[in-house]
Structure 1
């Protein structure tokens, strides 16, 4: 319930929970974790710290005694503190777990395509992020969105791999690794021997043209980026700003076509934003690729 007295808002734990879009149990647990209340028998009691934060006892004819809190207490239940709940955590907590600043964690989650930057402030959950248990919340005081994650995210292999890469740890590909799309055999057959303008080594003349075109167009891109999914799948090119993947299909061999079919199934499964290019497109890349990029909101200078 929300109580108004002299234009000062006061909140019960239940009304705090409603304001913050969490369960009443989470609100009580968080207040307890903060040291504001303690459990005695079947009731919650204020601690000296809770009193110092403005907690007072009130009485309701229907519900009996309860603890009332000033609006300022909501600040303690937001991102950092809210992340300490028993069910889920925030990027702040994830950052503390891996020893990385929260700004860098958000950048990693964004690059993975699990969250995206809000136009004004905060972070929004994506459809891909929902697959990994993310839940959208917002700060009551500012309206800025943020995302909470299940604690299991801390052991997610995709996240761990990306954090390790950020910290400079590189895993070598083992020949006995189980690759769904037979990536190792493909890489053995088509060596990356063509050096392009940005320093990448690519596997064909056509990929050289694509990479150099992206570089000349000042479009930030990655080459052979592993997709943020459980399956072992590598794209040809990846544009992280708009989460767009580019695949160049350059062969008509039966084994290559089978690989192409499996890759397309996975792109469709996760509803990834995909641009497909063929040899015919390469001959007209200055007309074809800008139009395909514009479909995903990427304008070329």
Structure 2
């Protein structure tokens, strides 16, 4: 398992224009109530009782932490470049039920063959996920029975197209199960480990 609270991502270029959640929602044509949850899902924000705090990862994306003068309520401003950030845009597409972003690098090369060979759908978990192996079936069922909210094959919040086996939102924990010893799989494993180390997801 790896905790993403100390992770890094490519820093956005500096911008003189900082956007509030309202401004971002206006430019994207979405409800402003959707923006912060999306940013939180990506690990860029943390929800606190009276507002939102930028995470370390969010700060690396150019987030600027602010507080309202009257009540000290925390909020975050974002550089204009966030509107063109691939990670943010991809998550917006999924949330807005647009066409999914197609894999372009790691998942479409080293690991795509594995994903094609072991198509999700062979094993159905207690909570309705379709997983690729009996081991993943056991992991998913254990998480469900332990009342741990989780996602299966969630994309990492990085520019590369990399998917973790399981993701636990509370704590931002990523789980990988390494279950095969063939060279093709080991090559995929090494590449994913490199990505985890690059962004300090370990």
TM range (shorter): 0.7 to 0.9
Q: Output one character per residue of 1:144-169: Cα deviation in whole Å (capped at 9) or x when no partner.
A: 21111110111112111111111111
- Tell me which of 119, 127, 132 is aligned to 1:198: 127
Q: Does 1:234 align with 2:163?
A: yes
Q: Does 1:185 align with 2:108?
A: no
| Secondary structure at 1:249 match in 2 | coil
- Give 1:1-301 correspondences, 5 Å limit: 87-118=17-48, 120-171=49-100, 173=102, 177-179=104-106, 182-192=110-120, 193-272=122-201
Q: More strand per residue: 1 or 2? A: 1
Runs of 4+ residues deviating >3 angstroms: none
- Cα distance in 1 for residues equivalent to 2:28 and 2:100: 18
Partner of 1:31 in structure 2?
none
Normalising by structure 1, we get a TM-score of: 0.58
Please report how far the alpha carbon of residue 203 of structure 1 lies from its aligned counterpart in structure 2 after TM superposition: 0.6
Cα pair 2:16 2:79 within 8 Å, conserved: no
Q: Output one character per residue of 1:214-249: Cα deviation in whole Å (capped at 9) or x when no partner.
A: 111121111101111101100000112221111111
Please report how far the alpha carbon of residue 172 of structure 1 lies from its aligned counterpart in structure 2 after TM superposition: 6.4
- Cα distance in 2 for residues equivalent to 1:173 and 1:141: 45
Please report how far the alpha carbon of residue 86 of structure 1 lies from its aligned counterpart in structure 2 after TM superposition: 5.0
Partner of 1:24 in structure 2?
none
- Cα distance in 1 for residues equivalent to 2:147 and 2:31: 28
Cα pair 1:117 1:123 within 8 Å, conserved: yes
Cα pair 1:128 1:270 within 8 Å, conserved: no
- Cα distance in 2 for residues equivalent to 1:102 and 1:223: 27
Question: What is the root-mean-square deviation in Å for CA atoms of aligned residues?
Answer: 1.9
Unaligned runs of 5+ in 2: 1-14
